[in-house]
Structure 1
C-alpha cells in the first residue's frame, strides 16, 4: 500500500518514571515514553494501528538526548505523506507538556528497524563531586547527575580500569538479572570507555565551581544495566573501594553474583546521547522514491 510510510524519528526526553518502552498492560495509569509517543501519533488519525519500535530501551529514571524509533503511518490515499517538518511539529504539539520532544524525522525503507539496524549507542554518565546534599546542586542539575560527597576521585586508576573493559568480552558480571538473561548473549564489544572532565549545565553562571566528570561508553548494544554497573565499579575504583586487579577479577568471573552489592550507579546520572546508523540503511531506493512521487504527487528528503 503506497499510502503507508515507514518513519524514523529521533527524540529526546527527561527522566520517565516508567522508562522508554510501553508500561505493562496490568499497570493502569502508568505510561512509558513509547506510550506517550504512540498516543501523539494516534492523534494524527492514521488508518493503521501504530506500533512504535524504540532503538534503546532506557530504564526508569534514565535520560535520553537522542533516542530513536520507527513506525509505519498510513494515511488516506487522497492525502500525501506528512513532510518531515510538519510531522515533527505535529507530534511535539500532540505531546503537550510531556518532557519528550521529537528532534528529527526521516522517511526510511520498509526493512529499516530502529533497534536492530543501530550500529552504535553512546551513553554518558555525569558525576558531581563534593556535594553533601542534593540541595547544594544548581536546580538545573537536580536529578541529572550522581552527586558524591567525595571531593576527589583517583581518575588515573579509573582510566586504567576502564581500559580493561574495552574490547569484545563476556560482560556477565556487569549485567543485572532479568527475564531474558538466558536468551541474550553476554558477549559484547565495548568500543569506548573514557573518563573525562565535564561541567555543570550552568557552569558559567553558578555562584561556585563544582567539579564534574563524565564517563562515556560506546557499543553496538549493552546488557541490562551494564552501563550503570560499569560506572559504579569505576567510581568504586576511584574511591579506593576496589583496586584495578579486583575489577579485573570481577570481569573475569563472568558471574553477575560476583558484582559487589551497593555500588551500582543510580539511574539519574545516565544519558543516552547518540544512536548511529549506516547512511545506506536509511536511504530510500531510487525506485521507491519515484513510486511515492508518482502515487502521491509529493516528494521529500
Structure 2
C-alpha cells in the first residue's frame, strides 16, 4: 500500500497565559507558542512527514481560546490507514499532557481545504469584572482570565450604544495596531456582532465575593485586524467610564488613522478569548 497523505481540520483550545501566542516560535526562544506544542504532539505519532499546522486565527501572548482551528497534512507509514478524527483527537491529547492545551475535535477535509481562508467568521469574547476595590478581592483563578476594573462603575447602556455604532462595514484603520504585515491587509472589515452582556455567575464568585460583576463583550466578523478587538474593547470601556464620548468614538472611527488611537487605552490581553471559528457544514462532511 502506498503512503497516503490526509488533511485534517483540528479544533483546539488553550489557556494563553504561559505562551508567547498561538503561532510557532523558534525552539530556542524561552517562551514558546501553542503551535510548538501541537506540532511536537503530532511528531510523537511517528508520521512519515514533518507535520506543519496552518493556524486559522492568530492570538497574542496572554490571549486564550475556547476554540481555535488549524489544518494539517498527515502521512502515516506504509500500510497504515488514515487516522479517524476520534483517534487523532485522543492521541494528540495524550501527548499534550500536562499543557493547558486540548484538541476538541478533528475532521478529515478535502485536499484543497485551508483553515484560514475557508473560515466564515471568528467570534471573540472579552471578559470584564467590576465590583471590587482591591486586587485580593478577585479570586486567584480569575486573575489571568479577565480585565480587572477595580473602583470602576460602567455605564453599560453607553457601552452598548457605542458598540452598536461599530456594527457594519467600516474602515477600522484606527483600531488596528501597526505591524510588519499591516500595510498588506485591507482595513475594511464587517462587524456582524458587537454586544455587551452580563456574565454568568461563576463558582468562585458565588463562594468568594458576591459583589463581583462580570461582563462579556462579544464581537463577530469574518476577520479582524491586528489587535482590533482589544482596541475596540478599550475604547468601549472608556465610553462606559465617561472618559470617551460616543461622538469622540465616531471621530476615531472616521479618522482612519492608527496613530490617532489614544495611548494606554488598549485593553490588556488577559480577558480576551477566541470562542468560535465557523465553517460550512459541507467542509466537515468527509467520512472520518
TM-score range with shorter-chain normalisation? over 0.9
**Distance in 2 separating the partners of 1:24 and 1:43:** 19
**Distance in 2 separating the partners of 1:244 and 1:129:** 22
Partner of 1:290: none
Query: How many matched pairs?
Result: 285
Deviations 1:105-155 (A, max 9, x none): 111111111111100000000000033333221222121000112442111
**Distance in 2 separating the partners of 1:262 and 1:8:** 38
- 1:174–1:230 contact (8 Å) kept in structure 2: yes
Quick one: structure 1 residues 155 and 207, their matched pair in 2 at CA, closer, same or farther if it must change by over 3 Å? Answer: closer
Give 3-state SS (helix, strand or coil) of 1:5's partner.
strand
**Distance in 1 separating the partners of 2:196 and 2:253:** 19
Partner of 1:44: 45
**Distance in 2 separating the partners of 1:141 and 1:91:** 27
- 2:14–2:64 contact (8 Å) kept in structure 1: yes
Is 1:206 the counterpart of 2:185 in the alignment? no
**Distance in 1 separating the partners of 2:192 and 2:274:** 15
The offset of 1:102, in angstroms, is 0.5
Is 1:253 the counterpart of 2:262 in the alignment? no
Is 1:34 the counterpart of 2:35 in the alignment? yes
**Distance in 2 separating the partners of 1:113 and 1:2:** 22
- 2:169–2:188 contact (8 Å) kept in structure 1: yes
**Distance in 2 separating the partners of 1:29 and 1:138:** 29
**Distance in 2 separating the partners of 1:132 and 1:51:** 46
**Distance in 1 separating the partners of 2:134 and 2:85:** 44
Partner of 2:114: 113
Partner of 1:294: none
Give 3-state SS (helix, strand or coil) of 2:42's partner.
helix
- 1:146–1:266 contact (8 Å) kept in structure 2: yes
- 1:10–1:104 contact (8 Å) kept in structure 2: yes
**Distance in 1 separating the partners of 2:114 and 2:246:** 39
- 2:25–2:32 contact (8 Å) kept in structure 1: yes
Query: What are structure 2's unaligned runs of at least 5 residues?
Result: none
Partner of 1:181: 182
The TM-score with structure 1 as length reference comes to 0.91
- 2:128–2:149 contact (8 Å) kept in structure 1: yes
Deviations 1:171-203 (A, max 9, x none): 000000100111001000000000111135324
The offset of 1:206, in angstroms, is 3.2
Quick one: structure 1 residues 39 and 46, their matched pair in 2 at CA, closer, same or farther if it must change by over 3 Å? Answer: same
The TM-score with structure 2 as length reference comes to 0.95
2:269 equivalent among 264, 267, 289: 267
Partner of 1:23: 25
Query: What are structure 1's unaligned runs of at least 5 residues?
Result: 285-299
- 2:130–2:148 contact (8 Å) kept in structure 1: yes
Partner of 2:96: 95
Deviations 1:32-64 (A, max 9, x none): 001110000000011011110111110110000
**Distance in 2 separating the partners of 1:211 and 1:220:** 30
The offset of 1:2, in angstroms, is 6.2
**Distance in 2 separating the partners of 1:137 and 1:207:** 8
Deviations 1:40-92 (A, max 9, x none): 00000110111101111101100000011110000123111122222111111
